[in-house]
Chains A and B, each alone.
Chain A
């Protein structure tokens, strides 16, 4: 791996391998109990005390959230609680944070944020509602996890409290959307939020409910009973099928070599000298199965689902384990007609629970690309299949190049792109817009015009005219043009690029998600870097030593 002193993090796991979570089922209600193994950290040097977590704990959480949606159609409500007696969750492990390099912290926060967003997406999109049973002190990232759920019930025992102690204790900010969700989601009054976020011990009991920090407080002895009742009520509102058979998300077929990661439908070649990942996505080999039953029968081998899982894993892998590969280039290969046929199947059966899940999954995976701190290019060449769902890869890229015409001496069909229904609402970006709308903010009417061209093969000229690709060099210019663009990109400051790309990718309105990611990249990452947090006398560094942090008192 690129960084020899870091462990390669694997995002694949399954419940039989969980160290930190216990998953149990009671009819339509599932319980996800956090019981972090102290000595189960990803790296040496810290103990995961008091249900504090590191990336490894969150990888399992992500896996559980995914499996609950796909493998358990019968589950309508999920209770997050603690499997420990005295504590709910103390948040991200501080020693882990203080010993981690900056880039790791940022990437860790990004992933944990995506999982919190996925929980909210399960509640809204999958109709699998999450609620939290706070059965002990719930601090920092622990409370942020609760904030991602739809209903928070807290034990009123004089001791259990919710808190965001980051500012007073660590001189950093809550890193998983806590501040934003307080005021934007729960509408906690800003002055109360101000007090709450500067009070290390947090707020408990009645006041927590009065202020809207939690939804209910109940005596400890009644907590289990109230949670069960509430979970049942919420589960009863779902439209998920109570009796549909679930299926297993089978292990991915993946090989990780020195300079390549290969899956069934995705191949990624790493050019470390130039810092480029060449990612090729291939179209399905055969026509789609028949109707929703066909989709169910194929389960996790169904091409769109298999591909989404592979891309998801690849994105996470590259982000975490290949920090120096700064440019990702997307290509596609295969039959455009088949890709379109799969898109049609997904559109026709969008109300089927599994098809809905698959589309939601694609939405989330594409969103991961939107918030990835890598330069992304797409190359649309003869023989490619940037159609519908796969066209979103090109639309998500910072820039795209489409070859005008064919290559001399090559028999592949002309490069074209094709729009499908999927490009018009199935996969909104974090700002709530489709990628098509997001690139036509100047002329919103063009979006409707494009809708009229569903299914049409658009060649380079037409695609450029439609605003779907950036540049369209011909066969003679192509190689040089693409090479120079990539080399230029690789030469810029990675930090400046990260900031620039994040700023340009999201035009249009702000949403909870764009605020969370925007503030994470701007405020939190800035604070994380500052000497007041990370300097030799910074709060993160001296935390746990009993020494006092020393602050540079000048406001910036």
Chain B
């Protein structure tokens, strides 16, 4: 195995060519990864050439090189953001000390679990989305799907790099575990709930990339503050790619909204289903579903684990270094929404234990920004409708609201009240069947399915009708 050109085969900035330990680990892992990609990656497109972006270095020229590739030949690389000179730990008990370049033994288990939990989400979404290619609304969208997929694959590589390079044998076992679990599998499920849900259609996929990938952004952003510098730098680089995934989600849903509004105007009707589009109330229901499932990903409102991660200086807050406080939070409090008998109330809780909730709050603000842009499209069409984020307690399965029924407005409901109302708030089987019925492949260059508008511009300055995926 000595003569492999690592820079060519596995683009990296971690000096892979010199690192025997990492080489040994990756040589064992890489074939298993490819096997996993063949089994669980995009179904039916393994031999297809796709116009993809590959990162070959972290500088502005290198991080986005475009060209046609067959996905199994994609050059998944290992990149860390450039080191920050003399970086010190920004928060927690170790605040102010130089960042760790090696794993502190004391935190080995905790840190490994953090990385595995994040890493597990990366291949999961590829698995969830593997059948979507068959029903793509356009070549442009198909290409974007695959771009997201290969990048989730690269994110997996990034996490595996950390496990293999820093955690010895257990790290290697965990790396294999990441390839053995399967989204939605009863026996080997993915670790987090939302990553075992189905992504049965493109609307769900676009919502997923908007809402669920955005959870990823916030998790990565708080790990990017970590005192363990290799983790911080890895996550910082991943964030640049994550931004693109959210772009796909936000513009994708925006284009669906655009199409719907255009039809409502042109045909002067609310009943756009007759014209093969998705009505705004149905979109709101999908939004409700994906938003609430994604809120769960942040975990319990009051969390000892989150507190520990922070005190241990392993996982910070979103934009930790921009915050103006002591970055230890021993005595600080944070307002947390709770149920109080028949109503909702906000109580001050110890800030350390409320870190999940604080991150969820940051996320909610960010989601709202996306909704505002969609609402602007509706408004521009002169339509009287507005998307709203449901209340944080709506349809939750984790945390303090897991056992209560709550309306999108935040009103507590009895089980009897919830039952019939649920159909107005969450996609019904009929809604799903309708959306499913729209999922007919559109593979002619420059053509788009009836339910989605074309994008404003193409990828990498190419035209919209560019041959993004070369179908045989």
Chain A interface residues toward B at CB < 8 A = 156-159, 168, 199-201, 219-221, 543-548
A52 to chain B, nearest CB (A): 12
Q: Is B307 a contact of A158 with CB atoms below 8 Å?
A: no
Q: Is A158 a contact of B180 with CB atoms below 8 Å?
A: yes
Q: Is A156 a contact of B352 with CB atoms below 8 Å?
A: no
Q: Is A157 a contact of B187 with CB atoms below 8 Å?
A: yes
Q: Is B353 a contact of A199 with CB atoms below 8 Å?
A: no
Q: Is B93 a contact of A158 with CB atoms below 8 Å?
A: no
A-B pairs with the 10 shortest C-beta distances?
A546-B307, A546-B352, A219-B187, A544-B304, A220-B187, A221-B186, A546-B311, A158-B181, A158-B188, A200-B109
A sample of 8 cross-chain residue pairs with beta-carbon separation below 8 angstroms, ordered by A number, consists of A159-B189, A200-B109, A200-B110, A546-B304, A546-B307, A546-B352, A547-B311, A548-B93
A547-B330, A547-B352 known; A157 vs B307 contact (CB < 8 Å): no
Q: Is B109 a contact of A168 with CB atoms below 8 Å?
A: yes
Q: Is B304 a contact of A221 with CB atoms below 8 Å?
A: no
Please, how many angstroms separate the alpha-carbon atoms of A158 and B177 in the complex? 7
Q: Is B353 a contact of A544 with CB atoms below 8 Å?
A: yes
Please, how many angstroms separate the alpha-carbon atoms of A159 and B352 in the complex? 26
Q: Which of B110-139 contact A (CB under 8 A)?
A: 110, 113
Interface contact tally, CB-CB below 8 A: 50
Most buried by A among B180, B181, B187, B329: B187
Please, how many angstroms separate the alpha-carbon atoms of A263 and B466 in the complex? 91
B227 to chain A, nearest CB (A): 13
Q: Is A543 a contact of B304 with CB atoms below 8 Å?
A: yes
Asked if B350 is an interface residue, CB under 8 A from chain A, the answer is yes
A543-B304, A544-B304, A548-B311 known; A201 vs B187 contact (CB < 8 Å): no
A546-B352, A548-B93 known; A157 vs B189 contact (CB < 8 Å): yes
Asked if B312 is an interface residue, CB under 8 A from chain A, the answer is yes
Q: Is B189 a contact of A545 with CB atoms below 8 Å?
A: no
**List of B residues within 8 angstroms of A544 by Cβ:** 304, 307, 353
Q: Which of A168, A221, A548 contacts B187 (CB 8 A)?
A: A221
Asked if B23 is an interface residue, CB under 8 A from chain A, the answer is no
Please, how many angstroms separate the alpha-carbon atoms of A158 and B179 in the complex? 11
Please, how many angstroms separate the alpha-carbon atoms of A545 and B181 in the complex? 33
Q: Is B353 a contact of A546 with CB atoms below 8 Å?
A: yes
Asked if B447 is an interface residue, CB under 8 A from chain A, the answer is no
Interface footprint category on B: 20 to 34
Asked if B310 is an interface residue, CB under 8 A from chain A, the answer is yes
Asked if B52 is an interface residue, CB under 8 A from chain A, the answer is no
Asked if B389 is an interface residue, CB under 8 A from chain A, the answer is no
**List of B residues within 8 angstroms of A220 by Cβ:** 186-187
Asked if B156 is an interface residue, CB under 8 A from chain A, the answer is no
Asked if B7 is an interface residue, CB under 8 A from chain A, the answer is no
Chain B interface residues toward A at CB < 8 A = 93, 109-110, 113, 177, 180-181, 186-189, 191, 304, 306-308, 310-312, 329-330, 350, 352-353
A426 to chain B, nearest CB (A): 48
**List of B residues within 8 angstroms of A200 by Cβ:** 109-110
A166 to chain B, nearest CB (A): 14
Please, how many angstroms separate the alpha-carbon atoms of A159 and B310 in the complex? 24
Q: Is B109 a contact of A199 with CB atoms below 8 Å?
A: yes
Identify 20 new A-B residue pairs, CB closer than 8 A, beyond the known A157-B188, A221-B186, A545-B353: A156-B187, A158-B180, A158-B188, A159-B189, A159-B191, A199-B109, A200-B109, A219-B187, A220-B187, A221-B187, A543-B304, A544-B353, A545-B352, A546-B304, A546-B306, A546-B329, A546-B350, A546-B353, A547-B330, A548-B93
Q: Is B189 a contact of A158 with CB atoms below 8 Å?
A: yes
A434 to chain B, nearest CB (A): 47
Please, how many angstroms separate the alpha-carbon atoms of A168 and B352 in the complex? 21
**List of B residues within 8 angstroms of A221 by Cβ:** 186-187
Please, how many angstroms separate the alpha-carbon atoms of A366 and B304 in the complex? 42
Please, how many angstroms separate the alpha-carbon atoms of A220 and B312 in the complex? 34
**List of A residues within 8 angstroms of B110 by Cβ:** 200
A36 to chain B, nearest CB (A): 14
Please, how many angstroms separate the alpha-carbon atoms of A432 and B352 in the complex? 51
**List of A residues within 8 angstroms of B352 by Cβ:** 545-547
Q: Is B350 a contact of A545 with CB atoms below 8 Å?
A: yes
Q: Is A201 a contact of B109 with CB atoms below 8 Å?
A: yes
**List of B residues within 8 angstroms of A168 by Cβ:** 109
**List of A residues within 8 angstroms of B186 by Cβ:** 220-221
Please, how many angstroms separate the alpha-carbon atoms of A108 and B45 in the complex? 61
Across the two chains, which residue of chain B brings its CB closest to A168? B109
Please, how many angstroms separate the alpha-carbon atoms of A220 and B187 in the complex? 5
Across the two chains, which residue of chain B brings its CB closest to A201? B109
**List of B residues within 8 angstroms of A219 by Cβ:** 187-188
**List of A residues within 8 angstroms of B329 by Cβ:** 546
Q: Is A201 a contact of B113 with CB atoms below 8 Å?
A: yes
**List of A residues within 8 angstroms of B181 by Cβ:** 158
Across the two chains, which residue of chain B brings its CB closest to A222? B187
Across the two chains, which residue of chain B brings its CB closest to A49? B300
B192 to chain A, nearest CB (A): 11
B159 to chain A, nearest CB (A): 15
Across the two chains, which residue of chain A brings its CB closest to B93? A548
Please, how many angstroms separate the alpha-carbon atoms of A201 and B112 in the complex? 10
**List of A residues within 8 angstroms of B113 by Cβ:** 201
**List of A residues within 8 angstroms of B310 by Cβ:** 546
Most buried by B among A156, A158, A543, A545: A158
A168-B109, A200-B109 known; A545 vs B307 contact (CB < 8 Å): yes
A369 to chain B, nearest CB (A): 40
**List of A residues within 8 angstroms of B308 by Cβ:** 546
**List of B residues within 8 angstroms of A157 by Cβ:** 187-189
Please, how many angstroms separate the alpha-carbon atoms of A201 and B310 in the complex? 19
**List of B residues within 8 angstroms of A546 by Cβ:** 304, 306-308, 310-311, 329, 350, 352-353
Please, how many angstroms separate the alpha-carbon atoms of A219 and B180 in the complex? 13
**List of A residues within 8 angstroms of B187 by Cβ:** 156-157, 219-221
**List of A residues within 8 angstroms of B189 by Cβ:** 157-159
**List of B residues within 8 angstroms of A545 by Cβ:** 304, 307, 350, 352-353
**List of A residues within 8 angstroms of B177 by Cβ:** 158
**List of B residues within 8 angstroms of A199 by Cβ:** 109
Most buried by B among A219, A221, A545, A546: A546
A532 to chain B, nearest CB (A): 15
**List of B residues within 8 angstroms of A548 by Cβ:** 93, 311-312
Across the two chains, which residue of chain B brings its CB closest to A199? B109
